Chains A and B, each alone.
Chain A
Amino acid sequence: MMALWQSFVELVYELIPWLDGGVATVLIILIKGVALILPLIIMMAYMTYAERKVIGYMQLRIGPNRVGPIGLLQPFADVFKMLFKEIIFPSKANIYLFLLAPILAFVPAVAIWAVIPLGEGFYITNLDISLLYVLAIGSVGVYGIIIAGWASNSKYPLLGALRSTALLVSYEIVIGFVAVTVVMVASSVNLNEIVAGQKGGAWNWYFIPLFPMMIVFWISALTETNRAPFDVVEGESEIVGGTHVEYSGMCFALFFMAEYINMIMMAALAVLMFFGGWHSPFEGIPYLDDLFAFVPDIMWLLAKMSFFLFLYLWIRATFPRFRYDQIMRLCWKVFLPLTILWIFVVAILTQLGVGPWF
C-alpha cells in the first residue's frame, strides 16, 4: 500500500514539475485527505443503509428496498433529499452559532482520522501521540452539541444539550483512563506502536489482559457516539429530538454524518487498541497463517471493524434506553473505580511480566 502511495507521489511531482517544497507538501496533504474522506463518507452512507436493513430484519421487517436493487441506492436518495431541503432558522436564534454548531460537530469527527492507521505504514500522519490526539479532538466534538442547544433558542435542544454534554464529559474521563491502561501495556501513545505490540496471533491482543477495560471502553464508546441505549441527546420519547430539533436539511445531515463517522472511528479505535489492529488472528499458527497470507492487512482491520459496527446495531435493536441518572451512576460509581483499579492491576502485571503482553 505504501509503495503504491510512493509511486503516486512521484507521479504528482512528474506531472506538475514546478511544484516546490511548501506547495507540494500542502497539495499532497490535501490529496491524502480527500483520499481518506471520500471512502469514509461512502462508508458512513452505507452504514445508515446497513443500520436500517439490519434493524429491519431484527424487527421482522424488510427495511429499505425501493431505491435500486434491494435498496442499495437508498443512501444517495437520502443525501439528495437532504441537500434540497430548506434550512429553517428558528426565530431569535443566533444565526452564526446556529450554523457553526453542525460544522463544529462534523470537523473534529473527520479530523480524528488524520492519525488513525489503517494498515502497516498506511496512514496520513504517524503522530507520536496519536492516541492523545484522538482523545483531544474527540473531546472537541462536544461543542457541536452545546452550541446547537444554546443557539437554537428552544427548550428541547437546550435540555438535550445540557444533559448530553454532562454525559459526554463524564464518559471522556472513563475513556481517558481506559486509554491509560492500554498505553501502560503497550508502553507507547502511538497507535502504530500499540498495534505493533499486538503482533503475532489472537492471544497477543490486548483484550485478554484488559478484558474488563475492553467492555468499559465499548460501553463508553456507545455513550460518546450517542447511540442507543445511551442516546440521551435525542431521546425521542423524552425531549423530541434533542439538540437537533430545530435543524433541517444539510445542517441536520452534518450532525447525522458526524455521529456515524464517530461510530466508525470508535470501532476502529476499539480494534486498534484491543483487537490487534490489522494483524491477522492466525499469525504464528503454522497452517492457518499460510492459508490467510494473501489477505491484505487492511482487510483484517475492516473485517474486525465491521463486527463492531454490527455490534452497534445489534445493541440498538436489543436494549431499551437507559434512564439518565442510571447512565451517570454507571459512569461515576462503576466504570471510574473499575478503570482506576485496573490501572493498578496492569501495573502489577507489568512488574511481574505476565504472558506475552508485557
Chain B
Amino acid sequence: MEFEQILFYVFSFWLIASSLAMVFSRNTAFSALFLILSFFSAASLWLLLEAEFLAITLILVYVGAVMVLFLFVIKMLDIESSTLRAKFTGYLPVGIGVAIVVIAEMSLVLGSSQFGLGKVANPIRHSSDYSNITELAMELYTTYVYQFELAAVLLLIAIIAAITLIHRIDPRTKKQSIAEQVNTKASDRVRLVSISSPNKEDKK
C-alpha cells in the first residue's frame, strides 16, 4: 500500500468516526469538538487531493471562527438534556424519514453513476512547482468574477443586516466617548468660584 493511501484511509476513518461521534455523543461540548475533528479530517483529505486553499480555508473559517462561536454559545446555554430526550421517540419517525430521503438523494447525486471513474477522470498529479492558489485566483477573478463579487456583496449585506437587527440604541445606556474625555480641559469640569471670605478679624 502506498504511503498516501494509508494517509487517505486514516483520515477517512477519522472523518467517519468523528462525524458519528458528533451525532451520538450526549454532551454538546463534545459534539462540537468532534465536529472540529471531522473538519480537520476533511481538510486533510482535501490536502491529499491537492486542494490546499480549500483545506486551509475550511480550517481558517470553520474551525477558527464558526466553531469558536458555537462553543461560545454552548458555554452560555444551560441545556437540560432530559427534557430534550423525552421528545426523542416522538420525533423518531420524522427523523428516520428525513434520514432516508437525505441518504437517497446523496447516493443519487454523489453515487458512482455521477462521480464514478467513468464520468470523472482521475485527478492529475501536478509537479511541486504548480501553484494551486494562483490557478484558483485566476479562475475566480477572471471567469467567475461577477459571481464572486455578488457573493461578497451578499455577505456584506448579511453582516449589515445582522448588525442593524441587534444594534438598537437604548436611551438608558451610558456611553463613554473617549475622544471627549481626552480633549476635556480643566475649565470644562471645574468651575473656580471666588468667594469673599469673612474677615478673620471679625471672628475675634
Contacts and interface: CB of A to CB of B under 8 A. Distances in A.
Interface of A: 21-22, 25-26, 94, 97, 100, 127-129, 132-133, 135-137, 139-140, 142-143, 146-147, 149-150, 158, 161-162, 165-166, 169, 172, 189, 325-326, 329
Interface in B89-142: 131-133
B63 A140 contact: yes
Contacts of A94: 29
Given A21-B3, A169-B68, A129 B53 contact: yes
B56 A97 contact: no
Given A136-B59, A325-B176, 8 more contacts: A22-B2, A128-B131, A132-B60, A133-B56, A139-B60, A139-B63, A143-B36, A150-B29
Nearest to B64: A139
Contacts of A129: 52-53, 56, 132-133
Contact of B29 (A25, A97, A169): A97
Contact of B56 (A25, A26, A132, A143): A132
Contacts of A169: 64-65, 68-69
B21 interface: no
| Interface SS majority for chain A | helix
B72 interface: yes
Interface residues of B, number: 26
B132 A136 contact: no
A22 B3 contact: yes
A139 B176 CA distance: 31
A189 B133 contact: yes
Nearest to B133: A129
B84 interface: no
A146 B69 CA distance: 10
A307 B160 CA distance: 41
A347 to B, nearest CB: 13
Nearest to A145: B68
Nearest to A128: B131
B64 A142 contact: yes
Contacts of B75: 146, 149-150, 158, 161-162
Contact of A128 (B57, B59, B68, B133): B133
Scoring B6, B33, B132 by chain A CB atoms within 10 A of each residue's CB, the highest score goes to B33
Scoring A136, A143, A326 by chain B CB atoms within 10 A of each residue's CB, the highest score goes to A136
B90 to A, nearest CB: 30
Nearest to B130: A128
B132 to A, nearest CB: 6
Closest 10 CB pairs of A and B: A139-B64, A22-B3, A136-B60, A136-B59, A132-B56, A136-B56, A146-B71, A150-B75, A129-B133, A128-B131
B64 A25 contact: no
Contacts of A132: 53, 56-57, 60
A133 B57 CA distance: 9
B29 A136 contact: no
A162 B73 CA distance: 10
A149 to B, nearest CB: 8
A150 B29 CA distance: 9
Nearest to B71: A146
Nearest to A158: B75
Contacts of B176: 325
Given A132-B60, A329-B178, A162 B72 contact: yes
Nearest to A323: B176
Contacts of A25: 3
B60 A150 contact: no
Contact of A165 (B2, B53, B72): B72
Nearest to A131: B56
18 contacts: A22-B2, A22-B3, A22-B6, A97-B29, A97-B30, A132-B57, A135-B60, A136-B56, A136-B57, A136-B60, A139-B59, A139-B64, A146-B68, A146-B71, A147-B71, A150-B71, A162-B75, A165-B68
B78 to A, nearest CB: 13
A163 to B, nearest CB: 11
A244 to B, nearest CB: 17
B58 to A, nearest CB: 9
Scoring B64, B69, B132 by chain A CB atoms within 10 A of each residue's CB, the highest score goes to B64
Contacts of A26: 3
Contacts of A133: 56
A146 B68 CA distance: 8
A94 B65 CA distance: 24
A357 to B, nearest CB: 20
Contacts of B60: 132, 135-136, 139
A139 B36 contact: no
A265 to B, nearest CB: 16
